[in-house]
Amino acid sequence: MEYDPEIGRKAVGHTADEKDVAAIVSDDTSAQSATGRPKGGLLFRFRELEAIMDRKLGIESEAINRKQEEDKKPVPWIEQLTMALLWASGTMNTSCFATGFLGAEFGLSLKQSILVTIFGSILGGAVTGYCATFGAATGLRQISVSRYSFGWWPNKLIALLNSIQQMGWAAVSCITGGLALTAVSDGHVSLILGIVILAVVALAISLIGLNAILVYERYAWIIFFVIFMIIFGETGRFADNAAPPTATGSTLTGAVLSLLAIVYGSSASWCTMVSDYYVHYPANVSRVKVFLMTSFGISIPTSIGMVAGCVVASALNTKPEWSDAYDEGLGYLIQVMLYPRGFAKFLLTLLVLSGINTNVISIYSAAISFQQLSRPFAQVPRIIWTVFCFVCILALALGGREQLNAYLQNFLSLLGYWCTSYAVILFEEHFIFRKGNFNNYDLEGWNDPARLPVGIGASIAFGLGVISWCMGMDETWYIGPLAKIIGDFGGDVANEFTFVVTALAYVPARYLELKYIGR
């Protein structure tokens, strides 16, 4: 083995057999587990059942295990397009359409809303695109990748935050999809029932595992792309391009910053789970290709949905019937603004499916994150965690169903804050302390606390980032002191402040960690 003084520990190659890795992670299936449970216990029986279902249906009974290079198969170029199409299906939905209305609510003009939306989507997509480059190179899920920065114990907080984040995203999709289903049924299907239906369908697909998800998401985007083009075609002529912004001066600045935080958070929030969908690619796949396809696979479809929302929102003042329908719910608005009515109902029925796309991705990754909270949690089969996430998503969606815009504004902003800290720490660890070389990662020790960093440097930087969020956030329930001084209603500068503070704090903190602890 070769000793690398730059990172203060041994760097090993990818030489272990798959069985050795499985033995490290699968203490849950050993004769006597780390928690002392006997092999014949209830969890062991569940794992046996899951393994049988894996052989029959490919449901991924060992989802969090590192994927060894020798077990990966060459991926044809047509399947590599999934790196973009997966996110197109997951982002081009009614949730993004609803987010597009926030610019007008903040007092921005149509042009301002569109510019902020496109810029924020690209910026957030680039953050996710960078994190995506770790999946194929390491064979690890995203939360496992961050153990090399955050260490064994602090990374458990990241796993928990990611689980909450993905369930929150799925709840937003359930609400918007449920509103559409209620409208298309002319109120015969309640919002509560609509939310339940969307969640159940997504649960069924997520239970099967990655293979089913990749096939489904590879083609689902086509339907929604066509629908949004129809929306542009039928509503574009009503867009109010001439209306000036109602917000001016420093209040306008605050509105732009707040909308930017929301849009950025929408695209950047995928960065904590993006590698989950790249572990099956060979390690030699071009990182530039992964970055570009992921970044634009997220930003372009997100922009399409949000800009459609911006266009329709600009027409609400000149189309009172649209405004009245919007007050009833998003689905009713879609029925009114599209024609003929029968065709509008058909499109709305298809749009209901868009909520399922996001839910499938979110439920799958949330379950994997829960498995990495502790060794006992890893013993619980993924399918059980999937059902648990489904229950939590239902609770969140039903609880927030009456306040969709407030839910979007607060939740999506919060996503961006911690994802900024996360991405900055991964970036600096890789390029400053690992010299941009994956040979400087002890990949066989991904599940061994003694071979991972302690995580002191990341904990300090992340903790200071939390203080930064609180200083710069602009939420309905709290406005930070920095945000408060911008305009009449505040301006969200939490992401910008967090980026600077985390970047400056991590390098010296990690250097001291390596100097005095050595890993």
CATH number of the domain at 256, please: 1.10.4160.10
In a domain, 2, yes or no: no
In a domain, 57, yes or no: no
Cis peptide before 381 (omega within 30 of 0): no
Cα distance between residue 52 and residue 331, in whole Å: 42
Domain that holds residue 509: 65-436+446-517
Tokens coding 185: 């049924």
pTM of the predicted model as reported, rounded to 2 decimal places: 0.87
| Closest listed residue to residue 299, CA positions, set 135, 84, 133 | 84
Residue 127: count other Cβ atoms within 10 Å of its Cβ.
28
Per-residue b/e over 32-57, b at no fewer than 16 CB within 10 Å?
Answer: ebeeebeeeeebbebbeebeebbeee
In a domain, 10, yes or no: no
Cα distance between residue 475 and residue 464, in whole Å: 19
Cα distance between residue 303 and residue 300, in whole Å: 5
How confident is the model at residue 38, as a pLDDT?
46
How confident is the model at residue 242, as a pLDDT?
87
How confident is the model at residue 52, as a pLDDT?
66
DSSP secondary structure letters along 213-228: HHHHHHHHHHHHHHHH
Strand partners, 32: 38
Tokens coding 166: 């993905």
In a domain, 32, yes or no: no
Cα distance between residue 265 and residue 46, in whole Å: 37
Q: How big is the CA angle at 187 (ends 181 and 189), to the nearest 5 degrees?
A: 55
Domain count, the chain: 1
In a domain, 141, yes or no: yes
Q: How big is the CA angle at 97 (ends 165 and 101), to the nearest 5 degrees?
A: 100
In a domain, 170, yes or no: yes
How confident is the model at residue 208, as a pLDDT?
72
CB 356 within 8 A of CB 205: yes
pLDDT tens-digit profile, the chain (519 residues): 333 433 333 333 333 333 433 433 344 333 344 334 445 566 667 666 666 666 655 555 566 889 999 888 888 888 888 899 999 988 998 889 999 999 999 999 999 999 999 999 999 999 999 999 999 999 999 999 999 999 999 999 999 999 988 888 888 888 888 888 888 888 888 889 989 998 998 888 777 766 777 777 888 899 999 999 999 999 999 999 988 999 999 999 999 999 999 999 999 999 999 999 999 899 999 999 999 999 999 999 999 999 999 999 999 989 999 999 998 888 899 999 998 888 999 998 888 877 788 888 888 899 999 999 988 888 888 888 989 999 999 988 888 777 766 666 667 667 779 999 999 999 999 999 999 999 999 999 999 999 999 999 999 999 999 999 999 999 877 899 999 999 999 999 999 999 999 999 999 999 999 999 988
Type of residue found at 62 = E
Cα distance between residue 382 and residue 360, in whole Å: 14
Cα distance between residue 489 and residue 389, in whole Å: 35
- State how beta strands 2-4 and 9-11 pair: antiparallel
In a domain, 266, yes or no: yes
199: part of which helix (H) or strand (E)?
helix 191-208
How confident is the model at residue 460, as a pLDDT?
97
First to last CA, the chain: 16
In a domain, 20, yes or no: no
